[in-house]
Amino acid sequence: MQTKELINKISLGYQPNKNEIIKILRLDKEDENLSYLFYKAEQVTLKYCKDEIQIRAIIEFSNYCRCKCAYCGLNCNNKLIKRYRMTIDEIVNTAFEAYEAGYKTIVLQSGEDLWYSKEKICEILKRIKGIGDLAITLSIGEREIEEYKEFKKTGADRFLIKHETADELLYNKLHPHSNFKSRFQCLKELKKLGYQIGSGFMVGLPWQGYDTLAKDLIFLKSLEVDMAGIGPFIPHPETELKNQVKGSTFLTLKVVALARLMLKYTHLPATTSLGVLNELDKIAAFSSGANVIMQKVEPHKYRRLYEIYPSKLKVHKSILEERKDIEKYILKAGKKISFTKGDSFKIK
């Protein structure tokens, strides 16, 4: 099948096999089919997700982590990082300020930090829900099913837990403290509990090939995720992968475009890691299928410590000023701003 025909078929609902996915991911900059891929991804976004960008506030409330992820600067073997935990009051006050600035979704993210017990997380959820009509996404890693159940009951609407790579052997190599089956189990249980679920993966991990990326996309499709975060791997100097090559933003944009064609309604963020390498790539993601942007809102003194990967520090501005900047940035990219909570398009 010709590449253009394949792209058309996928945008109409055909599920490509591994080889077909790889054929598209291999398109180079000179290939005329490449601009067609991005064009189609944008058309599919407009059709299924409208031309509105969802803006989410993310509070990275703790950088303590019990895990040993080989790529992540928060891994517990990193003794150089200064660790922090936000108090419950600080978290709730930050959420309040974000709500006042116009945010309708609060993403609560942290390392896997069991200091935040079930009771503490529930108190945070309850108090943030009391602020107003807000959606809450939790991204706190692997917990007991009972806890997930309680969080859902208390007000968590969504859960983001990336599968990182769908290659089981590679996953197990990169996560010596855990395994792929356990991650997958969490995703399945969360879905069963009625959460809108988010998964995702890194592009450019060492030992990853085009076939791994094809597996990743097929995995997301099989889970019918409501959100998927796809971003380039960026080496961190305090990890065992410090000398590895960073992920390609060009390849990431192709993966995002193909994800849009295959997943249709799924929320796809222009990930922060895309903007780390080049701010323009983040804008380009909006013409390649992305429809979400996440903005850090925790106090600046903590932002520089939540160092998953190295990134430039930004000028200190208030939550409201930063929100206004993002709104301008979205309009400049020719898109509209969503003022809804941005629930999954699948649950209408």
Contact residues: ligand SAM, CB under 6 A: 71-72, 74, 109, 111-112, 139-141, 161-162, 164, 202, 231, 233-234, 236, 273, 308-309
In angstroms, the CA 260 to CA 264 distance is 5
In angstroms, the CA 55 to CA 146 distance is 30
User: In this structure, what DSSP letter does residue 347 have?
Assistant: G
Nearer to ligand SAM, 155 or 231 (CB): 231
Nearer to ligand SAM, 50 or 181 (CB): 181
What DSSP string runs through 216-234?
Answer: HHHHHHHHT-SEEEEEE--
In angstroms, the CA 309 to CA 111 distance is 13
In angstroms, the CA 305 to CA 283 distance is 25
Token representation of residue 41: 């991804």
167, burial (CB in 10 Å: exposed 0-12, middle 13-18, buried 19+): buried
Element (H, E) at 109: strand 105-110
With contact defined as beta carbons under 8 Å apart, do 258 and 25 qualify?
yes
In angstroms, the CA 338 to CA 348 distance is 16
C-alpha 218, offset from chain centre: 17
Nearer to ligand SAM, 147 or 327 (CB): 147
Nearer to ligand SAM, 111 or 289 (CB): 111
User: In this structure, what DSSP letter does residue 74 have?
Assistant: T
Rg (CA), the chain: 19
User: In this structure, what DSSP letter does residue 135 have?
Assistant: E
Q: How far from 301 is each of 60, 154, 193, 211, 279, CA to CA, in Å? A: 12, 30, 36, 41, 22
Element (H, E) at 56: strand 52-62
Q: Which residues pair with 58 in a beta bridge?
A: 107, 296
Neighbouring residues of 92: CB distance < 8 A, sequence distance ≥ 6: 124, 127, 128, 131
In angstroms, the CA 129 to CA 83 distance is 27
